[in-house]
Structure 1
Amino acid sequence: MRAVRAQFKRHPLVALAYKVTVGVVGAVVLVIGVIAIPYPGPGWLIVFTGLGILATEFAWARRILHEALERYRVIMAWYKRQHGVVRVAGAVGTFVITVVTLWFVGAIGLMAGWFGFDQPWLGGLLP
């Protein structure tokens, strides 16, 4: 990969196009990850992947990636040391955020309709 990148650097326009492409792709992945954080699944993994993509071209992204990984480790270590009540509260909070979001976008109403339970209030706020 370094040889390919070295070839890109020999041509300023190609190097700029590569850097812009990395920036756009990294930013899109990062935004998707940030949106996915409160939901069950790989939200943080997507965030770190987006930062990793950006870090291949931008020094500021490398610094943020290292800082974010360290903070993530500290927070997860703290969370694992907490009483079961705190961990259950975190899980319940995640569940509530997920259900509210699914209701907001109308997914709950759609799924309820599949089972013949068609109630207007389940439709959510988005049409």
Structure 2
Amino acid sequence: MIVVPSGTLAYMTAESDETDRAVASDSRLGSRAPAFVQRSRPLHAVWRAGIFLVGLAVIGGGVILLPLPGPGWLIIFGGMAIWGTEFVWAQKVLRWTRRKVTEAARAAADPRVRRRNLVIGTLVVAALIGLAVWYVCSFGFTVPWRAG
């Protein structure tokens, strides 16, 4: 939310950094707290602290899940989305991330990139198979260390 010189409230749109008074409620930057919470400064501060702690707990769980099997990155972005309901910087990070993921998906769909990735993947798999065949031919199926 931004207070413009005329004293009225305006919202920044998610598509640009310009203020606009007539935007959809889902594309504005800033707090999405209920109106009664936004009217009271102390209540809004408590609301923001609660959102911060909940988002921090979710992100912490995602960080713990990164080395473990599980959707760690998905949970981290979920925590950022929780923060994005209240904090402009988190909304901007999510917007930037969404833009970069879209660009990467578009680039990966390019036939030349797909062909290059297929060739590189095929060469890597062929090299690994060649190393496995060389090892089996040289040493047999025994492992080079003592088990047990």
TM (norm. structure 1) is 0.52
In 1, Cα distance between equivalents of 2:33 and 2:84: 17
In structure 2, do the counterparts of structure 1 residues 11 and 72 end up closer, same or farther at CA, with 3 Å as the change threshold?
same
Please state if 1:48 is matched with 2:48: no
CA contact (8 A) 2:32 2:86 kept: no
Aligned to 2:58, which of 17, 29, 47? 29
- Identical-residue share of aligned pairs (%): 34
Distance 1:48 1:38 in 2: 16
Structure showing the higher strand proportion among its residues: 2
Partner of 1:67: 96
Structure 1 vs Structure 2 CA RMSD: 3.4
| 1:18 equivalent in alignment to 2:47 | yes
AA partner of residue 37 (structure 1): L
Indicate the residue corresponding to 2:86 in structure 1: 57
- Matched ranges for 1:91-106 at <5 A: none
The alpha-carbon deviation at position 72 of structure 1 amounts to: 4.3
From 60, 68, 79, the counterpart of 1:39: 68
How many Å separate the matches in 2 of 1:15 and 1:9?
A: 5
How far residue 40 of structure 1 moved from its aligned partner, in angstroms, is: 2.8
Q: How far does the alpha carbon of each residue in 1:65-110 deviate from its partner, in whole angstroms, 9 at most, with x for none?
A: 12223444528x75x954447998xxxxxxxxxxxxxxxxxxxxxx
- One-letter amino acid of the counterpart of residue 59, structure 2: L
Higher relative contact order (CA 8 A, sep 6+): 1
Equivalence for 1:7: 36
| Structure ID, larger Rg | 2
Matched residues in 2 for 1:64 and 1:7: separation? 27
In 1, are the aligned partners of 2:58 and 2:79 still within 8 Å (CA)? yes
Structure 1 unmatched runs, 5+: 89-127
